[in-house]
A and B are shown apart, each in its own frame.
Chain A
């Protein structure tokens, strides 16, 4: 089945930041986690995909179409949640939904109502009276109510309580079962991704670190703990980053098998989490 989203060599330069040749693709039926520290370029990438920013070079294809020429058709099939709410505060949820509904060709009022009930959102309440978490839930309800085939979520879980976060993860998992849909999910809370993501795309400082299957990443990367004396110049090249004290070191290796071959049983190997991978990649060779 063709990819729902293809990003190839995407570049964009600002006076103080540049996104450099980002490439990844997302097939239907999968959830991709999009991770990176603040200022890495996640929101810029998502804005380029949504055509809110103009790319300098590279290619974006959504549903196999060029967004510059088929913007309306493409956006009719995309559901989005941004990291901040940009709704009109004086409007009620019902009025805001009415505006949005009139834009989509496949709006489902029953689905929207059921999400409002599920998230305990009162339709006649003004948006300004909702808490931040409730506004985010409202945003999610809107994104999920028009048969979107691609969901683009920019930090949707920050500010949500654990119960709603769990509900969201369940909803996204259910969406994945419909093999025509895909989710691009940018977040800082990588534990959410460890539960549901199939692929992880990691960017740092405007550059792609990797875009691979999550299981493959978690299988290959490892945390290594050992005596500081083992961190010889030769061995250092095995590590993406490490943290060293006078009693020992903890480092991240991107190839567990190769590290095991060279370091053997002199060190302890532990499973690396996405948080570890992000932390050690960003901090690099930090010493204490």
Chain B
């Protein structure tokens, strides 16, 4: 797995630099929001998605699967590393944002904010959700075919949230929405330990199911 992670890091060197520049730009101008709870998870998802897709694009461009699958690696190693690198990209993005925010705080910049445990978990959860949706398509269909589907799914997830929020507000008196509201309130009232455990369980459930599905698809692929 180390070899494959090393491969991703080496082929994405330029992209990592671009991501850093983007994080610097986004942090300086706070282009998305003044609230960390929206800004950091949003930025994490966008940048993780960009790196995941770039990595898959470069693999596809080189048709490198022929080489990778001829090395002493198993197909499941390749799938596992893609999921592992997803978290690596997300953590790198969060860490870079944190560093820039710390610098801003040191410079007493008015828009500096601190990274809370909740923001961190939400960011990881959002990135893992995105990857869990993208990878099964990628491993089943390859990069080119999966690109269209994944783009649609990604933008639906990303922008659909505001539509869903609007819908929830509009039908706020419906019993289903009220039950959902109670569930959200219950989640909100949970202790840090409770909410952390629940979030981690969700991450494990989504990512685990997605990984098993991707592995199954990839085992059947032919090159």
Which residues of A are interface residues toward B (Cβ below 8 A)? 47, 50-54, 71-73, 75-76, 78, 80, 82, 84, 86-91, 95, 98-100, 102-105
Contacts and interface: CB of A to CB of B under 8 A. Distances in A.
Given A88-B62, A99-B6, A99-B7, A52 B223 contact: yes
Given A52-B223, A54-B222, A103-B3, A72 B73 contact: yes
Contacts of B72: 71-73, 75-76, 103-105
A86 B10 contact: no
Given A50-B70, A54-B220, A98-B6, 18 more contacts: A47-B223, A71-B72, A72-B74, A73-B72, A75-B73, A78-B70, A82-B66, A82-B67, A82-B70, A86-B63, A86-B66, A87-B62, A88-B11, A90-B11, A91-B10, A98-B10, A100-B71, A103-B3
B192 interface: no
A100 B73 CA distance: 11
Contacts of A91: 10-11
Contacts of B63: 84, 86
B142 to A, nearest CB: 14
B103 interface: no
A88 B70 contact: no
A52 B66 contact: yes
Interface of B: 2-3, 6-7, 10-11, 14, 58, 61-67, 69-74, 220, 222-223
Contacts of A51: 69
A102 B81 CA distance: 15
Nearest to A99: B7
B55 to A, nearest CB: 11
Contacts of B74: 71-72
A47 B65 CA distance: 12
B192 to A, nearest CB: 40
Contact of A86 (B2, B62, B222): B62
A43 to B, nearest CB: 11
Contacts of B62: 86-89
Given A90-B11, A102-B2, A80 B223 contact: no
Contact of A52 (B2, B6, B69, B220): B69
A90 B14 contact: yes
Given A100-B71, A103-B71, A53 B222 contact: yes
B60 to A, nearest CB: 11
Contacts of B61: 89
Contacts of B10: 88, 91, 95, 98-99
A75 B222 contact: no
B13 to A, nearest CB: 8
A91 B74 CA distance: 23
A54 B222 CA distance: 7
B222 A52 contact: yes
B180 to A, nearest CB: 46
Contacts of A98: 6, 10
A102 B3 contact: yes
A76 B62 CA distance: 22
Given A47-B223, A71-B74, A99-B3, A87 B69 contact: no
B61 to A, nearest CB: 8
B67 A87 contact: yes
Nearest to A12: B222
Contacts of A72: 72-74
9 contacts: A51-B69, A52-B222, A82-B70, A87-B67, A88-B7, A90-B58, A91-B10, A98-B10, A99-B10
B69 A50 contact: yes
Contacts of A88: 7, 10-11, 58, 62, 64
Contacts of B66: 52, 82, 86
B71 A87 contact: no
A149 to B, nearest CB: 13
Contacts of A84: 63
Contacts of B65: 86
A76 B222 CA distance: 21
A54 B69 CA distance: 13
A82 to B, nearest CB: 6
Contacts of A90: 11, 14, 58
A284 B58 CA distance: 45
The 5 closest A-B pairs by CB, nearest first: A76-B72, A102-B3, A75-B72, A103-B71, A52-B223
A57 to B, nearest CB: 16
Contacts of A52: 66, 69-70, 222-223
